[in-house]
Structure 1
Amino acid sequence: MRRGIALLLGAVLAAGPSLPAHAHPSHPTPTTPGATPAAAEPTYGKGWQPRAAIGGGPRQEHSVAALGHRVYVIGGIVPNPAGGVAATGRTEVYDTRRDTWSEAAPLPVVMNHPNVATVGGRIYVLGGLSGGASWQALRDGFVYDPRTDRWTPLPPMPAGMERGSAAMGVRGTKIYLAGGMRTLTPGPGGLQDTVDLVSSYDVVTGRWESLPSLPQARDHVGGAIVGATFYVLGGRDRGQVNVRDTVYALDLRSRRWSERAPMPTARGGIAAAAVGGKIYTFGGEGRHDGTNPNTVFAEAEAYDTARDRWVRLAPMPVPRHGTAAVAVGGTIYIPGGGTAGGAAPVDVNDAYRPRAVGRQAAS
């Protein structure tokens, strides 16, 4: 296997149809008995390049942020030596010029599915989900200064706004959050509490504001702001079998939601990043008809915000969900993620360089 990585597929248990909300599958890890390695080596090309594996090892359900030419991988879940997975506060830094990894100061609070954004040369974490037997929304916020390698606490999020796995976007001094979830209980029958909340945080004034709710609740969703519009793409509602292809757009001037052209492939647990006027989406988990919640997608699809049009791109060499993407200098970096439904963290780190979207096949 490339870089000695075993890409593992674990058995997944789906919730019964009588449950009010579909369960997150059991969480297999790379040491799960009976797990089998992937059959073939990844194939690169058509914009895809392999990069140095995550220095600290497999990571999933994390977030990423870019400062200059460096990509920060923050929080998430990692294999637990005692079995299963554990939440982490670890922060690692990938140097896109040198193709090397280093450590940064860890988050003061361990969390997975953190809500992360970069403003003014600093990284903001605005809540996430806890570790433990049931992952609960956290109100904790922090700001990271790369000059001092320190996280500074922010005032807690207002009660009722806390959640993890929200769509994120930045415009000016404001960070926008849409959707997310307050509870994720791993295992068969575990609760997934998806929300339709939309809010903003001004990094200068420290003021939180509630905005018009999403047309429907979403979590594990893609998000980006292009111009004055906040796009919320795909995602799911109370479980990975309930994936969606919707694209919602919030005009930040009129504060009105509209619906745009749907994604070619309904997916939750996707990674998304904007380059120019296009939003690129990668991977994901879950079948929309609920027949196979263990499905992990290789799909890469781009949305042209000016033309309201989707195109299909070359698929991911290593299909993953529960990962994150960020653009640096026109190249999109996608570190970590899971290769099987639920939790199957890997240390894969790939880069995608967009070509002219017009050359791709339209949806």
Structure 2
Amino acid sequence: MHHRIMAALGMNDVKAAAAAGVALALAVVMGACGGAGGAGTASTAATRPAAPATRTTARAAVPAPTHLRVVARRTLPAPVQLPAVAATGGGNALAIGGLDAADASVADVVRIAPGAPKLVGHLPAAAHDLGAAALRGKAYVFGGGTAAGPIATIAAVGPGGTVRPAGHLPVAMSDTSAATIGGTAYVIGGYTTTTPLRSVLAIVPGHAARDVATLPHPLRYAAVAAVGRRLLIAGGTDGVHARREVLSVDPARHRVTVIARLPAPLGHAAGAVLGGTFFVLGGRGDGLTHQRATIWAVDPAGRRPRRAGRLPLALSDLGAVTVGDHVLVAGGRDASGRVHDELWTLAAR
């Protein structure tokens, strides 16, 4: 099924304080097939009064990172593509499900941080193309594709690999992306086996899912993360062709805006946030062999995306998540069809 359907930030606004030369940098980071967290929008920040001087020594603002570079390589327990990844807090991160080297769904729950990657649990059923986001110290996974088709299950996965049922989506779906703002997870787009979806669903554990925004086009396999109170969505596929748009979603106002365009259509990429910058890693165009190694940095203010480094390999269908001041990149597929078992650690430079 995977290859037939694969064709599938808000920024913490940085406002210089006017008094006594004191600069205050606001940045909230979240990573997810993966996920991220939030603060206010530009229009809100612009109305705030200047902060009063509280110190006599000026403190320089921390610049947003402009490039990522590989600083470490480790090995996953097995090659995997399309893993759902999420950081659960305390330096912990998980890679869940995916497809193996034979394009078969897997049920593995792998702890990818801290320490060496380790298999720590299993899903009730093997699944790929799940969305994942962190909530309440757990990784929540949404839907996914199985041998019997998409499922509507929501599951909570603890840092130790324990899996518990946590509800249901309104419809069975795979090919989703997800991110977190505050105590709410958002599931973006997806596919029902017949229909690519345009929905943005808000999910709070213990409550029914709510549809909070409608995308301008159907979307699968998009790179997604959150900064501030907005979601940033880059590329993806509408079910036929890869897309170039970078979308900003304000779930509270039910508003979706195109804020930029990628230099070329790009689907099956991964997204992560570091220092208030949304990074889009790898991906491919419409062809199965059009993998990319480029890392793009997307400014939440909507400036043109810029090159921000390269992966060691051209990969699509990889997972990425922010843990502390690093981005972890797990697995992926190259242009020859080989599925990889590398776990790359990237840092800003």
SS at match of 1:52: strand
Aligned to 1:123: 139
* Residues 111 and 159 in structure 2, CA contact (< 8 A), matched pair in contact too: no
**1:1-363 to 2 correspondence within 5 Å?**
24=6, 47-54=69-76, 56-67=77-88, 68-79=90-101, 84-96=102-114, 98=115, 100-131=116-147, 136-146=149-159, 149-158=161-170, 160=171, 162-183=172-193, 193-203=195-205, 205-239=206-240, 242-287=241-286, 292-306=287-301, 308-340=303-335, 344-355=338-349
| Distance (Å, rounded) in 2 between the aligned partners of 1:293 and 1:307 | 29
Number of matched residues? 287
- Post-superposition Cα deviations, 1:192-245, rounded to whole Å, max 9, x if no partner, equal 742212211112x42210122100111110111211111111011214xx1111
Distance 1:209 1:137, change over 3 A: same
- What letter matches 1:207 in structure 2? A
| Distance (Å, rounded) in 1 between the aligned partners of 2:91 and 2:156 | 19
SS at match of 1:264: coil
Shift, 1:46, TM fit: 6.5
| Distance (Å, rounded) in 2 between the aligned partners of 1:246 and 1:307 | 11
- What letter matches 1:85 in structure 2? D
| Distance (Å, rounded) in 2 between the aligned partners of 1:166 and 1:325 | 14
Q: What is the TM-score with the length of structure 2 in the denominator?
A: 0.77
Aligned to 1:11: none
- What letter matches 2:96 in structure 1? I
5+ residue gaps, structure 2, are 8-66
Shift, 1:309, TM fit: 3.6
* Residues 93 and 159 in structure 2, CA contact (< 8 A), matched pair in contact too: no
* Residues 260 and 302 in structure 2, CA contact (< 8 A), matched pair in contact too: no
* Residues 87 and 112 in structure 1, CA contact (< 8 A), matched pair in contact too: yes
| Distance (Å, rounded) in 1 between the aligned partners of 2:316 and 2:120 | 25
SS at match of 2:285: coil
- What letter matches 1:155 in structure 2? G
Shift, 1:70, TM fit: 2.7
- Post-superposition Cα deviations, 1:66-94, rounded to whole Å, max 9, x if no partner, equal 13223211000113xxxx32101111112
* Residues 78 and 85 in structure 1, CA contact (< 8 A), matched pair in contact too: yes
SS at match of 2:260: coil
* Residues 224 and 274 in structure 1, CA contact (< 8 A), matched pair in contact too: yes
- Post-superposition Cα deviations, 1:16-39, rounded to whole Å, max 9, x if no partner, equal xxxxxx7658xxxxxxxxxxxxxx
* Residues 320 and 329 in structure 2, CA contact (< 8 A), matched pair in contact too: yes
Distance 1:23 1:254, change over 3 A: closer
RMSD: 2.2
- What letter matches 2:112 in structure 1? Y
* Residues 199 and 209 in structure 1, CA contact (< 8 A), matched pair in contact too: yes
More strand by share: 2
5+ residue gaps, structure 1, are 1-13, 15-21, 26-44, 184-191, 356-363
* Residues 198 and 214 in structure 1, CA contact (< 8 A), matched pair in contact too: yes
Distance 1:244 1:121, change over 3 A: same
**Higher relative contact order (CA closer than 8 Å, sequence separation 6+):** 2
Moved more, 173-182 or 162-171: 162-171
Shift, 1:169, TM fit: 1.5
| Distance (Å, rounded) in 2 between the aligned partners of 1:156 and 1:257 | 25
- Post-superposition Cα deviations, 1:303-344, rounded to whole Å, max 9, x if no partner, equal 111353421022111111011100111210001010127x53
* Residues 92 and 159 in structure 2, CA contact (< 8 A), matched pair in contact too: no
Aligned to 1:359: none
Q: What is the TM-score with the length of structure 1 in the denominator?
A: 0.74
* Residues 63 and 323 in structure 1, CA contact (< 8 A), matched pair in contact too: no
Shift, 1:293, TM fit: 4.1
| Distance (Å, rounded) in 2 between the aligned partners of 1:88 and 1:164 | 14
Shift, 1:103, TM fit: 1.6
* Residues 337 and 346 in structure 1, CA contact (< 8 A), matched pair in contact too: yes
* Residues 277 and 306 in structure 1, CA contact (< 8 A), matched pair in contact too: no
* Residues 59 and 78 in structure 1, CA contact (< 8 A), matched pair in contact too: yes
| Distance (Å, rounded) in 1 between the aligned partners of 2:255 and 2:113 | 39
